[in-house]
């Protein structure tokens, strides 16, 4: 009888242990695991939010439609054909929203048929500006808009088909730029970056064989399509 009573007491004690002790321990363990996952998620989210802060280096390819320069000092139009090129940029993000950048690129363009003097020209853009990052619900994809000031130049060693004379030619002028693009991050430090830039202003300074002066021309819009990679050290 006593042995049966002892067994009953032991069973009741075991049942009490299972009922009152194990659930709180299990719940505490689950809470700890959930907290760890939450901390990891918060940390990952924090990394995502910081992707536009600090220095970023960029390397990109260009596609540039031809230009047309007209004006008082141009007979007809000075025109170039579609060209391609390369560029580099450096970006510094002050916070999630705003960043400053500088870029330099050059594309090879040939003068159009019937344009004098003829030859292959290098169209370069140097600009300094700012970007506004437009964060979305996807931390890996960040659109942006930009505004800049800078200088454009068309330079080459050309030949005048009418006289046969050859020499250096440089047509340049200041510009205002606007643009937009999108960055898609593969990791916190590497992203695919693509966009379009519009440059407004006139190529109103002409330098031919060391002789320079003003060139009375109209405003010309340049369009650059960019695609490349950006890397955040």
Using CB atoms within 10 A of its CB, is residue 48 exposed (0-12), middle (13-18) or buried (19+)? Answer: middle
Residue 34 pLDDT more than 60? no
Which residues have C-beta within 8 Å of that of residue 126, sequence separation ≥ 6?
Answer: 102, 103, 104, 150, 151
Residue 1 pLDDT more than 70? no
- Mean pLDDT, range 101-122, rounded to an integer: 87
pLDDT score, position 28: 54
Nearest to 202 by CA among 212, 215, 189, 193: 215
Q: How far is CA 157 from the centre of its chain?
A: 32
pTM of the entire predicted model: 0.75
The residue that leads in pLDDT, 77 or 224, is: 224
What's the pLDDT tens digit per position in 166-223?
778 899 999 999 999 999 999 988 999 999 999 999 999 998 877 888 989 999 999 9
Which of 5-9, 20-24, 52-56 is predicted most confidently?
52-56
What are the residues facing 126 on neighbouring strands? 104, 151
What is residue 151's DSSP assignment? E
Distances in Å between the Cα of 82 and the Cα atoms of 99, 215, 223 are: 31, 23, 10
The residue that leads in pLDDT, 133 or 165, is: 133
Residue 2 CA to residue 191 CA, distance in Å, equals 77
- Mean pLDDT, range 78-87, rounded to an integer: 94
Residue 40 pLDDT more than 50? no
Angle subtended at Cα 183 by Cα 123 and Cα 188, rounded to the nearest 5 degrees: 125
pLDDT score, position 138: 87
Residue 34 CA to residue 16 CA, distance in Å, equals 27
Residue 46 pLDDT more than 80? no
């Amino acid at each position: 009888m006593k042995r049966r009573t002892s067994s009953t007491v032991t069973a009741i004690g075991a049942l009490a242990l299972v009922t009152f002790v194990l659930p709180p321990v299990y719940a505490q363990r689950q809470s700890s695991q959930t907290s760890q996952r939450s901390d990891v998620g918060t940390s990952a989210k924090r990394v995502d939010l910081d992707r536009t802060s600090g220095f970023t280096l960029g390397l990109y390819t260009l596609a540039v439609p031809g230009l047309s320069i007209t004006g008082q000092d141009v007979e007809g139009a000075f025109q170039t054909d579609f060209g391609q090129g390369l560029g580099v940029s450096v970006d510094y993000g002050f916070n999630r929203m705003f960043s400053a950048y500088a870029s330099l690129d050059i594309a090879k363009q040939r003068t159009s048929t019937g344009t004098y003097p003829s030859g292959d020209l290098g169209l370069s853009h140097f600009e300094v500006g700012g970007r506004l990052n437009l964060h979305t619900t996807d931390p890996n994809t960040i659109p942006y808009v930009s505004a800049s000031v800078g200088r454009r130049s068309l330079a080459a060693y050309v030949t005048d088909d009418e006289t046969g004379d050859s020499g250096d030619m440089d047509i340049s002028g200041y510009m205002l730029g606007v643009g937009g693009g999108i960055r898609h991050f593969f990791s916190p430090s590497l992203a695919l970056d693509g966009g379009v830039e519009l440059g407004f202003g006139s190529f109103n300074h002409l330098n031919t064989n060391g002789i320079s002066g003003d060139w009375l021309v109209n405003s010309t819009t340049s369009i650059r399509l960019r695609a490349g990679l950006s890397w955040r050290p």
